[in-house]
Amino acid sequence: MTINTFSQDGVQRQQMPCLTKMERMIISMQDPDMGIKLRNQRLLITVIPHAMTGADIFEWLIKKFSISDEEALHIGQIFVKYGYIYPLKEPRNLILKVDNSPYRFQTPYYWMSTRWPASELDYAIYLTKKNIRKQGDLIEYEKECYNALHKRINHTWDFVVMQAREQLRASKQRRKADRIVLECQEQAYWLVNRPPPGTLDNIDHGPERRTTNTRVQLNADFYKKEIEHNRISLARNRVKSSICLESYVKYCEQYQPHDPIMQGCLPSNPWITDDIMFWNMNCETVSVQTKLRVERWSFSFMELLSDPVGRKEFLTYLEKEFSAENLCFWQACEDVRHGETSKIPGKVDEVYKQFLAPGASRWVNIDSKTMEKTLEGFKRPHRFVLDDAQMHIYFLMKKDSYPRYLKSDLYKNLLARAVVPQETKKSVLPFIHRQRHSSPSPALATQAAEDDGKAKNSNSFKSNSGTASRL
Amino acid sequence: MEMAAQPSDTLATLKTESETLKTKLEEERAKLHDVELHQVAEKTEALGQFIMKTRRTLKGHGNKVLCLDWCKDKRRIVSSSQDGKVIVWDAFTTNKEHAVTMPCTWVMACAYAPSGCAVACGGLDNKCSVYPLSLDKNENLAAKKKSVAMHTNYLSACCFTNSDMQILTSSGDGTCALWDVESGQMLQSFHGHAADVLCLDLAPSETGNTFVSGGCDKKSCVWDMRTGQCVQSFETHESDINSVRYYPSGDAFASGSDDATCRLYDLRADREVAIYSKESIIFGASSVDFSLSGRLLFGGYNDYTINVWDVLKGTRVSILFGHENRVSTLRISPDGTAFCSGSWDHTLRVWA
């Protein structure tokens, strides 16, 4: 996440959307009417005012957000972890206990967003105070930090010690209850901002992201381009929401039986039962397909082409119709578009010879305007030079051959022969699972193919991608 | 003495003009918005009880897992982490099959090649490199490494286009780019984001020529891969966009952001059509993906949880606990049988 810190007159301000949201929630938790009821809590012999129990926090969260116990506990933990609520009993343990353990709201002075990043100087003063109070008996990691700081900011150490002494003196003059509260507040703040080794560091955010002072030149050109883009966008044709949104309902409905997470899959989900039949029955080389798979080819032309088996079947149909060259042409175009840049001129040449040249052996019927444009582009062949021609043929197949294929005997017979797998139940004994078999790595298939001297790009795991091999 | 026009005046004027146009654009977009998604979905059956459990835990990374990608074989996964390690797993058996140590830390991007024979990765080295996967145990994968992409700042995401031959990248330098793997040449660059670009996704459309990106400028942009032009852009999020993912039909995409919301944008309606949020969700969504039918949207969040949303009705179906630190990456498997989540707790979990 982006932490924006901008120095304005030496004041560092931090914005993190999650902190803002947390703080809003903390404030509502402290609302005199709708918030948590605060009362005095007894800590050994001292009475601490304005405190609450872990159970109070838990119950308030459940009621306010209508969430489960688990989620309420989870959110409560976050508030304690980030130092917005701190425990009075066992103050070094920043967790939420859902019982009558006492907790208090951290003062905004010590909120993460108010004082970020934690100042080294402040930490030195804090540790010095502790050192003085405990007469040198600091916890191991605190001792290390103390010594390291002493070395690093040695030049201001007199100031540090003076501040520490002054603060200790001032605190001695307070009432015991106040003193305990102030000590807890300060300690909680440092536990969050200087977490002990081994605990989760909430401040760790990963590589720096920039939203101000970015690496993009926000110059006149940038804004001019943006203006141009916005102008074009304004003139864009839009579709009514009702039409667009209806299509999602239809899509979800159509694909629901195919969605293993929504409706399960037959014979079983391999991840749940450890049985890989589902994958075996749906692989490319299977002789009989499943009903769902064959049905899916009827959803859209794209679905048919995406499935290598579907594509093969469609080609067989086209061959019967003497229009197989269309699909071959389409595939050759895919090969140009997605293949190596260096091979483009050679491939384009081949495509021209096989499919577009007058009298070509597999001539495809493209309208004259597209043909003219394509041939012009051949003068300087590039990756997308065949796009228009490819789209023309694609839509030709989609509007004509594809619907007829779906009505053909070839498809209907395939659908009739397709199977619905029998369900495999999960093993009854919970801890005994089936042996999980390895599968050959796709890299192996290629290695073997390479050894055989075949083309590097063909292998059995490629489904709808990679350079298409000539069928 | 003549006063030259202050450059800052012109810049400020241009900026204002752009902002004004943006406001007008939102007004135009609102005009055809005649119904909300959840209203259209009223007649759709509500989802029943939702149970998903961790079925596999992949342990082996010594540090935060930052990215993952599935192999087309539906069971292998490549993952990358903060300490520079990139691991290829057979997630089904949980065996590690390959491991590469990158010369940099924070490997924020990794991708599996469509053929299953190589992986691409990069991060703080500002590059995207391709490693062919060798099965020779003695072979040092790093030796065959191919440097493909070069940005001027960190690599945030990468993915292969429909073949092993081209890679799309996004970077902290504010740009995206398309690269030819063989030559390492940049085929196209995409400029338009005003800050770090954090994520991208390729469109599953028939013509396959567009992709969407999201960045720290709170903007998501749809790009034409051939011309390099930004075709559409949306600016409704209130913070960094960490993840973008197309709806399976390609007509829409979802985005997850630090503003603790996920949003759905329809490309034909040209507007935001749904917001997935809850008052109790405080932390940002780092990674999103759809189930196969597009009915469910899975979001990995920075508060260690995974929230599952009913895309049509806009409600949260379930919250999954398990990870012990931020969920940084989440992808559904190619056949939709499971999804995998990677976390800063050093593990990956496969859920089904």
The string of DSSP codes covering B58-91 is: EE--SS-EEEEEE-TTSSEEEEEETTSEEEEEET
Which region, left, alpha or beta, applies to residue B322 given φ > 0 means left and ψ of -120 to 50 means alpha?
left
Given a cut of 60, whether residue B5 has pLDDT beyond it is no
Longest dimension (CA), chain A: 104
Would you state the pLDDT for residue A453?
Answer: 42
Would you state the pLDDT for residue A432?
Answer: 63
Q: What's the whole-number mean pLDDT along residues B152-159?
A: 96
Residue owning tokens 């490629």: A462
Would you state the pLDDT for residue A446?
Answer: 56
Mutual angle of helices A54-65 and A17-29, in 10-degree steps:
110
Would you state the pLDDT for residue A447?
Answer: 56
Given a cut of 50, whether residue A89 has pLDDT beyond it is yes
- A442–B117 CB contact, under 8 Å: yes
Given a cut of 50, whether residue A459 has pLDDT beyond it is no
Given a cut of 90, whether residue A428 has pLDDT beyond it is no
Q: Which of B312, B289, B294, B329 is nearest to B82 (CA)?
A: B329
Q: What's the whole-number mean pLDDT along residues B267-275?
A: 96
Q: Which of A220, A227, A228 is nearest to B9 (CA)?
A: A220
Express as a percent the part of chain B with pLDDT over 70.
96
| Residue A289 tokens, joined | 């397909």
Closest residue of B to A387, CA-based?
B207
Q: Are B18 and A227 in contact (CB under 8 A)?
A: yes
pLDDT in tens, A322-371: 999 999 999 999 999 988 889 999 999 999 999 999 999 999 999 999 99
Q: What's the whole-number mean pLDDT along residues B230-250?
A: 96
Given a cut of 70, whether residue B137 has pLDDT beyond it is no
Identify from A18, A221, A391 which residue to disrupt to test chain B contact, counting B C-beta atoms within 10 A and taking the largest count.
A18
Residue owning tokens 């019927």: A365
Would you state the pLDDT for residue A9?
Answer: 29
- Report the relative pairing of strands B118-122 and B109-112 from DSSP bridges: antiparallel
Q: Which of A127, A84, A78, A82 is nearest to A103 (CA)?
A: A84
Tell me how far apart the alpha carbons of residues A369 and A412 are, in angstroms, rounded to a whole number.
38
Torsion of the alpha carbons at A186, A187, A190 and A192, rounded to the nearest 10: -110
Identify from A229, A246, A434 which residue to disrupt to test chain B contact, counting B C-beta atoms within 10 A and taking the largest count.
A229
Tell me how far apart the alpha carbons of residues A297 and A302 are, in angstroms, rounded to a whole number.
8
Give the Cβ contact number of residue B317 at 10 Å.
Answer: 20
Closest-CA distance of chain B to residue A354, Å = 23
Express as a percent the part of chain B with pLDDT over 90.
90
Listed by start position, the domains of chain A span 16-115, 117-201, 283-417
Confidence of residue B3 (pLDDT cuts 50, 70, 90): low
Of the partner residues A1, A17, A238, the one whose CB lies closest to the CB of residue B32 = A238
Would you state the pLDDT for residue B55?
Answer: 97
Would you state the pLDDT for residue B83?
Answer: 93
Q: Which residues of A93-117 are buried (b: 16+ CB within 10 A; e: fewer)?
A: ebebbbeebbbbbbeeebbbbebbe
Mean pLDDT rounded to a whole number for chain A:
86
Would you state the pLDDT for residue A438?
Answer: 86
pLDDT in tens, A431-458: 666 778 888 888 776 555 555 444 444 4
What is the rounded radius of gyration, in angstroms, for the C-alpha atoms of chain B? 21
DSSP conformational letter for B325: S
Name residue A94's amino acid. L
Specify the range with the lowest mean pLDDT, choosing from A4-13, A252-261, B184-193: A4-13
Tell me how far apart the alpha carbons of residues B148 and B145 are, in angstroms, rounded to a whole number.
9
Give the Cβ contact number of residue B290 at 10 Å.
Answer: 26
Residues of B in contact with A243 (CB under 8 A): 268
Given a cut of 70, whether residue A2 has pLDDT beyond it is no
Distances (CA, A) of A425 to A297, A429, A433: 28, 11, 12
Tell me how far apart the alpha carbons of residues A307 and A464 are, in angstroms, rounded to a whole number.
6
Closest residue of B to A22, CA-based?
B282
Question: Given CB atoms, is A446 within the 8 Å cutoff of chain B?
Answer: yes
Mean pLDDT rounded to a whole number for chain B:
94
Identify from B173, B282, B312 which residue to disrupt to test chain A contact, counting A C-beta atoms within 10 A and taking the largest count.
B282
Tell me how far apart the alpha carbons of residues B22 and B25 are, in angstroms, rounded to a whole number.
5
Closest-CA distance of chain A to residue B78, Å = 13
Residue ranges of chain B assigned to CATH 2.130.10.10: 61-189, 192-323
Residues of B in contact with A279 (CB under 8 A): 74-75, 335
Given a cut of 90, whether residue B142 has pLDDT beyond it is no
Distances (CA, A) of A256 to A248, A251, A392, B206, B335: 12, 8, 32, 21, 13
pLDDT in tens, A277-290: 999 999 988 889 99
Superfamily of domain B61-189: YVTN repeat-like/Quinoprotein amine dehydrogenase (2.130.10.10)
Q: What's the whole-number mean pLDDT along residues B266-287?
A: 96
Which region, left, alpha or beta, applies to residue A9 given φ > 0 means left and ψ of -120 to 50 means alpha?
left
Would you state the pLDDT for residue B321?
Answer: 97
Torsion of the alpha carbons at A454, A459, A463 and A468, rounded to the nearest 10: -10
Closest-CA distance of chain B to residue A342, Å = 8
Helix (H, G, I), strand (E, B) or coil at B269: coil
Would you state the pLDDT for residue B352?
Answer: 97
pLDDT in tens, B53-82: 999 999 999 999 999 999 999 999 999 999
Question: Given CB atoms, is A467 within the 8 Å cutoff of chain B?
Answer: yes
Give the CATH number of domain A283-417.
Answer: 1.10.167.10
- Report the relative pairing of strands B262-266 and B271-276 from DSSP bridges: antiparallel
Given a cut of 80, whether residue B268 has pLDDT beyond it is yes
Q: Which of residues 2-61 of A touch B (CB under 8 A)?
A: 2, 16-18, 21-22, 25, 61
Confidence of residue B302 (pLDDT cuts 50, 70, 90): very high
Of the partner residues B123, B164, B291, the one whose CB lies closest to the CB of residue A262 = B291
- A438–B90 CB contact, under 8 Å: yes
Question: Given CB atoms, is A258 within the 8 Å cutoff of chain B?
Answer: yes
Length of chain B: 352
- Report the relative pairing of strands B166-171 and B76-81 from DSSP bridges: unpaired
Residue owning tokens 């009903």: A291
CA B76 centroid distance within chain: 19
The topology (CATH level 3) of B192-323 is Methylamine Dehydrogenase; Chain H (2.130.10)
Q: Which of A104, A49, A59, A100 is nearest to A79 (CA)?
A: A104
Would you state the pLDDT for residue B333?
Answer: 98
Residues of A in contact with B17 (CB under 8 A): 223, 227
Q: Which of residues 216-245 of A touch B (CB under 8 A)?
A: 216, 218-220, 222-227, 229-231, 233-234, 236, 238-245
* Of residues B208 and A2, more confidently modeled: B208
Domain A117-201 has CATH 2.40.50.420: no
Closest residue of A to B241, CA-based?
A1
| Residue B275 tokens, joined | 């917001």
Tell me how far apart the alpha carbons of residues B271 and B285 are, in angstroms, rounded to a whole number.
20
Tell me how far apart the alpha carbons of residues A296 and A307 are, in angstroms, rounded to a whole number.
10
pTM of the model: 0.92
Q: What φ, ψ does residue B287 adopt, rounded to 5°?
A: -160, 135
Write B22-30 long-range contacts (CB < 8 A, 24+). Answer: B22/A230, B22/B235, B24/A230, B24/A234, B25/A230, B25/A233, B25/A234, B28/A234, B28/A238, B29/A238, B29/B269, B29/B270, B29/B271, B30/B271
Residue owning tokens 């209130």: B238
Given a cut of 50, whether residue A471 has pLDDT beyond it is no
Half-sphere exposure of B267 (CA within 13 A, CB side): 22
Q: What's the whole-number mean pLDDT along residues A223-249?
A: 93
Given a cut of 80, whether residue B138 has pLDDT beyond it is no
- A279–B75 CB contact, under 8 Å: yes
Would you state the pLDDT for residue A456?
Answer: 40
- B195–A339 CB contact, under 8 Å: no
CATH class of A16-115: mainly alpha
Size of interface A-B (CB pairs under 8 A): 353
pLDDT in tens, A115-124: 777 889 999 9
Confidence of residue B330 (pLDDT cuts 50, 70, 90): very high
Question: Given CB atoms, is A75 within the 8 Å cutoff of chain B?
Answer: yes
Helix (H, G, I), strand (E, B) or coil at B145: coil
